[in-house]
C-alpha cells in the first residue's frame, strides 16, 4: 500500500513505460512541450471528455470523464468513458435497482503501438475502478482514432503485475526526485520533449534545470 497523500497522475504510466527519463522530466522537472502528436491526442480527448455527460441507451449507462484513484497503486486519473452494462453478476450503482458490469473505453490517436504502453494505462484505470467499486474487471477497450475501431484488452496477471511494478517504481523515482540518464532509442524521434531532453548531457546525469543555469551563467562571462 502506497501513501495516499502522494498520488501520481495515472496517465504518466504510459510515459514511464515508454521512457523513464521522459516520465521523470514531465513529472519531476515539470517539462512539457506539445508536438503535433500530443495536440492531436488532446483534440481527440476534448471530443470525448464531458464531465457532465451520462446517458442510458438500451439499458447501458455511459459516463464520461469519470474520476478514478487507487490507494494500492498510488495513482489518480480520469477515465475517458465507462460503460455500465446490466449483468446479474455486476455491482449496484447508487439509485439503480439492477446490477451492472463496468467496462472502460480509453481514446487514443493513431493506431495500436508496439509495446504495452496503452494497455498498461487502461489496466491501471481498471485496477483503480476495481478498488473503488469492489469488483473485478476482466477486460476493457482502447479506441484508436486512426483505425476508428475498439480493441479489446484482457487484464491478464502479467499486465496487472506490469502496472503494479511500474507504479511502485514511479513512486520510488518520485521520492528520490531521480532523473534517469539519456538512453536514446527508436521512440526518441516522436518524443514530445525531444528538444529539451538534452542528449548532449548523456552520461553525466545532470538535471535539466542545472544545465540551463550553467548555460545562462556562461552567457554572463
In this complex, which beta carbon is closest to ligand SF4, that of residue 123 or of residue 182?
Answer: 182
Cβ(77)–Cβ(69) below 8 Å: yes
Contact set for ligand SF4, span 102-121 (CB under 6 A): none
Cell numbers for 165: 511494478
Map residues 153-182 to x or -, x wherever contact with ligand SF4 holds by CB under 6 A.
Answer: -----------------------------x
Minimum CB distance to ligand SF4 smaller for 134 or for 186: 186
**Least Cβ distance, residue 38 to ligand SF4 (angstroms):** 12
Smallest CA-to-CA distance from 9 within 65, 81, 78, 109 is with 78
What CA–CA distance (Å, rounded) separates 6 from 91?
29
Site for ligand SF4 in 69-98 (CB under 6 A): none
- Indicate the SS3 state at residue 144: strand
Q: For the chain, first and last CA: distance in Å?
A: 51
CB of residue 188 to ligand SF4, shortest distance in Å:
3
Is 191 an interacting residue with respect to ligand SF4 (CB under 6 A)? yes
Least distance between ligand SF4 and beta carbon 148 (Å): 28
Axis crossing angle, helix 157-176 with helix 20-27, rounded to the nearest 10: 50
188, β-bridge pairs: none
Choose the binding region for ligand SF4 from 45-53, 128-136, 138-146, 191-199 (rule: CB under 6 A): 191-199
- Shortest Cβ 182–ligand SF4 spacing (Å): 5
Strands 60-70 and 99-108: unpaired
The binding site for ligand SF4 (CB under 6 A) comprises 19, 21-22, 25, 182-184, 187-188, 191, 193-194, 197
Amino acid at each position: 500500500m502506497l501513501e495516499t497523500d502522494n498520488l501520481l497522475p495515472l496517465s504518466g504510466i504510459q510515459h514511464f513505460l515508454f521512457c523513464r527519463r521522459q516520465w521523470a522530466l514531465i513529472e519531476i522537472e515539470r517539462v512539457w512541450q506539445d508536438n503535433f502528436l500530443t495536440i492531436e491526442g488532446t483534440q481527440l480527448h476534448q471530443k470525448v471528455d464531458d464531465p457532465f455527460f451520462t446517458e442510458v441507451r438500451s439499458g447501458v449507462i455511459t459516463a464520461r470523464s469519470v474520476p478514478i484513484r487507487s490507494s494500492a497503486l498510488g495513482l489518480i486519473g480520469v477515465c475517458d468513458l465507462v460503460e455500465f452494462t446490466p449483468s446479474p453478476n455486476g455491482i449496484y450503482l447508487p439509485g439503480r435497482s439492477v446490477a451492472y458490469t463496468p467496462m472502460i473505453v480509453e481514446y487514443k490517436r493513431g493506431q495500436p503501438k508496439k509495446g504495452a504502453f496503452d494497455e498498461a494505462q487502461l489496466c491501471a484505470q481498471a485496477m483503480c475502478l476495481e478498488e473503488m467499486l469492489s469488483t473485478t474487471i476482466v477486460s476493457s477497450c482502447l479506441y484508436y482514432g486512426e483505425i476508428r475501431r475498439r480493441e479489446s484488452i484482457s487484464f491478464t496477471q502479467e499486465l496487472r503485475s506490469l502496472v503494479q511494478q511500474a507504479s511502485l517504481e514511479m513512486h520510488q523515482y518520485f521520492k528520490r526526485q531521480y532523473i534517469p540518464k539519456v538512453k536514446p532509442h527508436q521512440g526518441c524521434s516522436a518524443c514530445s520533449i525531444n528538444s529539451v531532453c538534452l542528449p548532449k548531457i548523456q552520461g553525466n546525469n545532470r538535471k535539466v534545470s542545472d544545465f540551463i543555469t550553467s548555460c545562462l551563467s556562461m552567457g554572463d562571462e
